[in-house]
Structure 1
Amino acid sequence: MSYLLTTLTKKREVDSIIRDTIDKVLVLRFGKASDAKCLQLDDILAKSAREVSKFCTIALVDTEAEEIQVYVKYFDITLVPSTIFFYNAHHMKMDSGTADHTKWIGEFHRKQDFIDVVEAIFRGAMKGKLIVSCPLPPERIPRFQLLFKDV
């Protein structure tokens, strides 16, 4: 299904989609085409794309591409898939009760969960907010133990 979505492999492609997506939420899925969890998420994103197309643009970012490493480091992408949201070139954050508000780590359980999250970000952005509360119940938010080596 991911072939239905644009895949970005160059820094300038990511720069321009962030800059040029105006009055819509931009969803960037950072991950690998070979990863099972990424493919699961891509399926949900592709199935949702038409329904959210009036207020959202979705693109996939290949974390294995050499030129993308600057973004992988900048957004501290250690787990894939990681989904990052923007509105009018502003990085939108979401408080989902996890330690990291800058990105959604993991996949969405179902299509409606993704749509609900994008709608919440869009509504918050329309009110001038840069951080919104996650509309999903806690049991549908992926949890990851962040492990620190040598601490």
Structure 2
Amino acid sequence: MDCLLKTLTKKEEIDRIIRDTIDKVLVLRFGREKDCLHLDDILNKSARDVSKFAEVALVDVDSEEVQVYVKYFDITFLPSTVFFFNAHHMKLDSGTADHTKWVGEFHEKQDLIDVVEVIFRGAMKGKMIVHCPIPQERIPKYQLLYKDM
């Protein structure tokens, strides 16, 4: 591993990193370490490359203290990655029904770097939603299930 990413297990830690990450994209991976080995490897390898314009951290979804965020972002599929810029939630239009987060893994390191770069550039222009630069065939597909419908 190139570097060791922070694992957040408390709501206060998430609040603090969202509030204190200024002029950089904050990449928060929600998941479990054992289920996210490939994605965490990509995040680790990418962290240094994006360090000038992004910070990457992991959120342990099994921690009782982070459930408010798990519910708020409707983290039902793991892993899910949420992006922020200057404490604002950044959305990513990847052609899926949910623009609030990236659901699934990135196929390769460059895909993550491209997404973070597009979010950073969009945020610097005041945009709150950006178009995903990854080709459709490399965007994970999943089925949204609605309860009580």
TM-score (norm 1): 0.95
Aligned to 1:116: 114
Residues 34, 142 of structure 1: alpha-carbon distance in 2 compared, 3 angstrom cutoff: same
Output the amino acid matched with 1:136. Answer: I
Structure 1, unaligned runs of 5 or more: none
Gaps of 5+ in 2: none
Once the two structures are aligned, what percentage of the paired residues are identical?
76
Contact 1:2-1:43 within 8 A present in 2 as well:
no
**CA distance in 2: counterparts of 1:26 and 1:146, whole angstroms:** 25
Quick check: 1:121–1:132 contact (8 Å CA) kept in 2? yes
Q: Distance in 1 between matches of 2:137 and 2:6?
A: 30
Name 1:19's counterpart in structure 2.
19
Q: Given the alignment of the two structures, is residue 46 of structure 1 paired with residue 44 of structure 2, yes or no? A: yes
Cα root mean square deviation, aligned? 1.3
Instruction: Supply the AA of the counterpart residue of 1:31.
Output: G
**1:150 Cα deviation (Å)?**
5.5
Residue of structure 1 in register with 2:66 after alignment: 68
- Give the 4+ runs in structure 1 shifted more than 6 A: none
CA contact 1:93–1:101 (8 Å) conserved in 2:
yes
State the Cα distance separating 1:147 from its structure 2 match: 2.6
What's the CA shift for 1:66? Answer: 0.5
**CA offsets per residue over residues 91-149 of structure 1, 9 Å max, x none?**
00010000000000000000000000000000000000000000011001111011335
How far apart in 2 are the matches of 1:3 and 1:127? Answer: 30
Distance (Å, rounded) in 1 between the aligned partners of 2:146 and 2:72: 19
* TM-score normalised to structure 2 length: 0.96
Q: Distance in 2 between matches of 1:43 and 1:34?
A: 12
The answer to whether residue 79 in structure 2 is matched with residue 81 in structure 1 is: yes
| Count of aligned pairs | 149
Distance 1:72 1:29 in 2: 11
**Alignment partner, residue 5 of structure 2:** 5
1:33 to partner: Cα distance = 1.1
With over 3 angstroms needed to count, the CA separation of the structure-2 counterparts of 1:148 and 1:2, relative to structure 1, is farther
Q: Deviations over 1:7-65 (max 9, x none)?
A: 00000000000000000000000000121xx1110000000010000000000000000
